[in-house]
């Protein structure tokens, strides 16, 4: 049985390749065999069970939930260490002094009055009913009570409890185990939901596989995905149970037959779907609840799309795109997601055998081709997507503009050509038609006349009349198509069925795709192809039948890709359970009228270290301002004139480490930028980033300073 969404991706997955097992990061599990469905038993499954049973409390957006310990929303006031220890020592000395004075009678005998009122006369004196020993115990016991009272008072005044909690308790605290105590009723390793639904044999088989070490995190996620298909009615309970009883943890495999990636570089938690990118810095600018916590992203946040801006070398590819690509590939193996990763050849986006399809445009050894028309069969749809790719960057950058004229020109050619040849034109054929070559036009006209396609003949006549006229978009389109009609791309974008073209219509399935762009010597063509992939992606996810499968496009270096139509397409992705990740070296790579709409269309925004002040200004504007409490403090040093006053001032200086002052504090509410342009440009350390988050439910996380190396 195939898991929900794990059907063959229309023949788009690569041939099986033997892979070495890679050491996973989280959970820390024994190495696994790469491909065999029935793996030999391991010594035990304690590592997997510990990972599965680890606490994952609900948390704010972006918090790494694996083993997370929630913190208070507000920071408690903490006394400075020097002041706390000095106060505790002085309170002890004062208590000791009071007790010594009482013991030596310098303060009188008034403190024995309660003893005289409570203790019977028969218990006093050496000849009392209690005897000398009993009398001694009574007197010593009372003195002990008085001493204890003095000690309690000194402890409260000196905050001894705070000293104990801050400096003593951490030294003796034992590290808490990650695995909580579970009962059979709430143990996730028992698969109780399957038992309750009438599949006890399947549940017992999975529980046995988990205990014996045959199950991994991807297996667990994949089987849960298949079980969701049973609950929604896509699969029958009998088929699911049969697959589990037959294959155990290897049931419902991905079409590639893989159960894990060849290697993992990031830390993943497939129960929550998160990948850890770093650690939120313990900084006053971060909310207290986030400080020191792990920072993680998952489909719930990527569903609102992410834009990351930072100069070359700031870590966009290595610390952002690569971990996200790795995470989404794991989700694809679990039948949860489809991922397309686009970047320059050799950009370090993961090994080829971590993907089902690798399209190396410009490399004649590439096993796969890219469908220039995105698998469309309607000429108008194909023309709209192709026009966006060819001249979308030349359109009026105002968000309300469109490229309707270019779409019309292409539709006037694609429709007649398809009617005559039963396919869309290849790149050389399309270039000839856009250039107005007489031979192809005459052949196309003759074919339409023989087929009796009068309406398409009128389209072709209109195209001929418009050619050469002022404002005709055909010439610009022809020039852009010429960038693809180069010897380096010979054999690519074939429409005659000679190659294996990949189409983004395959995003109905959990496919893993990497597209390598030929940056060197073909920068303009690469930007045009990146626009093509983005346009095809936004068009394809909008018409998917199964939207329970998360689809994500990771575009490393989106220079020249952001157009008015692209911004509109990104805005529509959230409703289709899809998202994009775009990286830019600078916002100057986006037209000025589109910068605000782009930052507004994406729910997650990241500014990496090294940002320019003018880029920081755009982020500061989109993050807005907040009301904060401003405290204006005026200190005036107090001059002591008497010896007693000087002694008191000296004591205060010893306790606080500061000269005695008279302080006047003015508190007022002011509105300030969360992060100013200057702070973003100069106060973000290397290897860090400022990141704001929004999940698909609309919950927000304010801009957070994150260490991407932690």
Asked if residues 529 and 386 have their Cβ atoms less than 8 Å apart, the reply is no
Pick from 119-123, 427-431, 513-517: least confident: 119-123
State the average pLDDT over residues 141-165. 87
Assess whether 88 and 124 both reside in one domain: yes
Residue at 147 is within a domain: yes
State the average pLDDT over residues 638-648. 76
Comparing 397 with 55, which gets the higher pLDDT? 55
Bridge partners for 553 per DSSP: 340, 580
Assess whether 431 and 474 both reside in one domain: yes
Residue at 65 is within a domain: no
Name the band, by pLDDT with cuts 50, 70 and 90, for residue 105.
Answer: confident
Assess whether 483 and 407 both reside in one domain: yes
Residue at 396 is within a domain: yes
Percent of the chain with pLDDT over 70: 89
Note the pLDDT of residue 137: 76
Q: Are strands 550-555 and 294-297 parallel, antiparallel or unpaired?
A: unpaired
Q: Is the pLDDT of residue 17 over 50?
A: no
Most confident of 84-88, 119-123, 574-578: 574-578
Distances in Å between the Cα of 445 and the Cα atoms of 93, 346, 349, 452, 566 are: 107, 46, 47, 10, 35
Comparing 471 with 27, which gets the higher pLDDT? 471
Residue at 529 is within a domain: no
Residue at 203 is within a domain: yes
| Interatomic CA distance for residues 326 and 351, integer angstroms | 10
Note the pLDDT of residue 383: 95
| Interatomic CA distance for residues 384 and 398, integer angstroms | 18
Asked if residues 236 and 230 have their Cβ atoms less than 8 Å apart, the reply is yes
Asked if residues 535 and 389 have their Cβ atoms less than 8 Å apart, the reply is yes
Note the pLDDT of residue 271: 96
- pLDDT tens for 617-642 read 999 999 998 888 777 777 777 777 78
Which of 258, 255, 268, 254 is CA-nearest to residue 324?
268
Most confident of 108-117, 189-198, 270-279, 392-401: 270-279
Note the pLDDT of residue 261: 95
| Interatomic CA distance for residues 312 and 586, integer angstroms | 9
Q: Mean pLDDT over all residues of the chain?
A: 86
Name the band, by pLDDT with cuts 50, 70 and 90, for residue 5.
Answer: very low
Assess whether 132 and 191 both reside in one domain: no
Name the band, by pLDDT with cuts 50, 70 and 90, for residue 657.
Answer: confident
Residue 444, SS3 per DSSP: helix
| Interatomic CA distance for residues 278 and 325, integer angstroms | 16
Query: What are the φ/ψ torsions at residue 96 (nearest 5 degrees)?
Result: -65, -40
Q: Is the pLDDT of residue 187 over 80?
A: yes
Q: Is the pLDDT of residue 2 over 60?
A: no
Assess whether 395 and 445 both reside in one domain: yes
Asked if residues 625 and 673 have their Cβ atoms less than 8 Å apart, the reply is yes
Which of 163, 243, 187, 196 is CA-nearest to residue 2?
243
| Interatomic CA distance for residues 511 and 13, integer angstroms | 7
Q: Is the pLDDT of residue 662 over 80?
A: no
Pick from 137-141, 327-331, 508-512, 612-616: least confident: 137-141
Q: Is the pLDDT of residue 277 over 80?
A: yes
Percent of the chain with pLDDT over 90: 57
Structure tokens at 190: 């028992």
End of a domain among 250, 281, 304?
250
Note the pLDDT of residue 478: 93
Note the pLDDT of residue 322: 96
Residue at 91 is within a domain: yes
- pLDDT tens for 553-570 read 999 999 999 999 999 999
Asked if residues 78 and 248 have their Cβ atoms less than 8 Å apart, the reply is no
Which of 532, 494, 488 is CA-nearest to residue 391?
532
Residue 36, SS3 per DSSP: coil
Domain count for the chain:
4
State the average pLDDT over residues 510-536. 93
End of a domain among 442, 473, 489?
489
Residue at 13 is within a domain: no
- pLDDT tens for 327-383 read 999 999 999 999 999 999 888 899 999 999 999 999 989 999 999 999 899 999 999
Structure tokens at 330: 């794991």
> For the stretch 625-662, what's the b/e string if a residue is b when 16 or more beta carbons lie within 10 angstroms of its beta carbon?
eeeeeeeeeeeeeeeeeeeeeeeebeebeeeeeeebee
| Interatomic CA distance for residues 675 and 705, integer angstroms | 10
Assess whether 384 and 453 both reside in one domain: yes
Q: Is the pLDDT of residue 401 over 90?
A: no
Assess whether 120 and 190 both reside in one domain: no
End of a domain among 250, 272, 297?
250
Q: Is the pLDDT of residue 477 over 70?
A: yes
In which domain, by residue range, is 642 found? 627-671
Reply yes or no: is the peptide bond before residue 27 cis, omega within 30 of 0. yes
Assess whether 446 and 387 both reside in one domain: yes
Which helix (H) or strand (E) segment is 339 a member of? Answer: strand 337-344
Which of 328, 321, 231 is CA-nearest to residue 273?
328
Residue at 208 is within a domain: yes
Assess whether 148 and 189 both reside in one domain: no
Q: Is the pLDDT of residue 174 over 70?
A: no
Name the band, by pLDDT with cuts 50, 70 and 90, for residue 27.
Answer: very low
Note the pLDDT of residue 296: 97
Residue 176, SS3 per DSSP: coil
Assess whether 484 and 434 both reside in one domain: yes
- pLDDT tens for 281-319 read 999 899 999 999 999 999 999 999 999 999 999 999 999
Please spell the DSSP secondary structure of 487-549, one letter per residue. Answer: GGGTTSS--SSSS-EE-GGGGGS--EEEEEE--TT-HHHHHHHHHHHHHHHHHHHTT-S-TTS
Name the band, by pLDDT with cuts 50, 70 and 90, for residue 35.
Answer: very low
Assess whether 385 and 467 both reside in one domain: yes
Q: Is the pLDDT of residue 202 over 50?
A: yes
Assess whether 104 and 205 both reside in one domain: no
Asked if residues 585 and 311 have their Cβ atoms less than 8 Å apart, the reply is yes
Note the pLDDT of residue 447: 92
């Amino acid at each position: 049985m195939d898991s929900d969404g794990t059907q063959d991706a229309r023949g788009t997955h690569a041939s099986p390749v033997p892979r070495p097992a890679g050491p996973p990061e989280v959970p820390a599990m024994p190495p696994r065999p790469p491909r065999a469905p029935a793996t030999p038993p391991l010594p035990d499954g304690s590592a997997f069970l510990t990972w599965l049973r680890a606490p994952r409390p609900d948390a704010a957006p972006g918090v790494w939930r694996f083993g997370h310990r929630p913190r208070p929303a507000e920071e408690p006031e903490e006394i400075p260490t020097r002041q706390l220890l000095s106060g505790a020592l002085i309170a002890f000395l004062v208590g000791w002094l009071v007790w010594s004075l009482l013991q030596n009678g310098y303060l009188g005998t008034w403190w024995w009055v309660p003893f005289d009122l409570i203790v019977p006369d028969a218990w006093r004196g050496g000849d009392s009913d209690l005897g000398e020993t009993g009398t001694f115990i009574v007197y010593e016991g009372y003195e002990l009570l008085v001493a204890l009272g003095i000690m309690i008072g000194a402890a409260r005044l000196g905050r001894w409890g705070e000293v104990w909690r801050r400096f003593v308790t951490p030294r003796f605290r034992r590290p808490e185990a990650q695995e909580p105590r579970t009962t059979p009723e709430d143990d996730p390793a028992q698969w109780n939901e399957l038992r309750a639904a009438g599949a006890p044999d399947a549940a017992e088989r999975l529980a046995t596989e988990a205990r014996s070490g045959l199950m991994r995190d991807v297996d667990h996620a994949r089987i849960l995905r298949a079980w969701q298909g049973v609950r929604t009615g896509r699969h029958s309970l009998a088929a699911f149970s049969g697959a589990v009883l037959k294959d155990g943890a290897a049931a419902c495999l991905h079409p590639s037959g893989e159960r894990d990636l060849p290697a993992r570089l990031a830390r993943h938690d497939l129960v929550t779907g998160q990948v850890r990118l770093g650690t939120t810095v313990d900084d006053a600018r971060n909310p207290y609840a986030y400080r020191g916590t792990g920072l993680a992203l998952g489909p719930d946040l990527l569903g609102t799309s992410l834009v990351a801006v930072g100069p070359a070398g700031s870590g966009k590819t290595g610390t952002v795109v690569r971990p996200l690509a790795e995470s989404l590939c794991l989700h694809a193996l679990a039948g949860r997601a489809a991922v397309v990763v686009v970047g320059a050849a050799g950009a370090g986006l993961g090994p080829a055998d971590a993907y089902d399809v690798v399209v190396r445009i410009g490399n004649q050894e590439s096993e796969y081709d890219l469908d220039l028309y995105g698998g469309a069969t309607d000429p108008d749809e194909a023309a709209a997507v192709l026009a966006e790719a060819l001249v979308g960057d030349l359109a009026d950058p105002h968000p309300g503009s469109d490229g309707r004229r270019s779409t019309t020109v292409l539709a006037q050619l694609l429709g007649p050509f398809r009617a005559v040849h039963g396919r869309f034109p290849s790149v050389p054929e399309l270039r000839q038609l856009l250039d107005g070559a007489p031979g192809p036009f005459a052949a196309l006209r003759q074919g339409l006349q023989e087929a009796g396609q009068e309406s398409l003949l009128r389209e072709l006549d209109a195209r001929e009349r418009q050619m050469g006229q002022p404002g005709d978009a055909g010439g610009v389109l022809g020039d852009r198509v010429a960038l693809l009609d180069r010897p380096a791309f010979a054999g690519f974008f074939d429409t005659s069925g000679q190659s294996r073209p990949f189409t983004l219509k395959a995003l109905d399935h959990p496919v893993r795709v990497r597209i390598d762009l030929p940056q060197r010597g073909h920068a303009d063509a690469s930007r045009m192809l990146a626009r093509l992939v983005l346009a095809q992606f936004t068009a394809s996810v909008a018409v998917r039948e199964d939207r329970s499968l998360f689809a994500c496009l990771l575009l490393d270096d989106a220079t020249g890709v952001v157009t008015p139509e692209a911004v509109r397409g990104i805005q529509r992705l959230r409703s289709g359970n899809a998202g994009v990740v775009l990286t830019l070296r600078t916002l100057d790579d986006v037209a000025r009228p589109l910068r605000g709409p782009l930052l507004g269309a994406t729910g997650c925004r990241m500014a990496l270290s090294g940002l320019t002040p003018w880029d920081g200004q755009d982020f500061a504007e989109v993050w807005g301002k907040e009301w904060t409490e401003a405290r204006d403090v005026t200190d005036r040093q107090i001059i002591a004139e008497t010896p007693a006053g000087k002694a008191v001032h000296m004591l205060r200086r010893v306790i606080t480490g500061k000269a005695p002052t008279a302080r006047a504090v003015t508190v007022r509410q002011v509105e300030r930028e969360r992060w100013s342009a200057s702070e973003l440009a100069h106060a973000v350390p290397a290897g860090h980033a400022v990141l704001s988050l929004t999940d698909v439910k609309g919950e927000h996380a304010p801009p957070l300073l994150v260490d991407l190396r932690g």
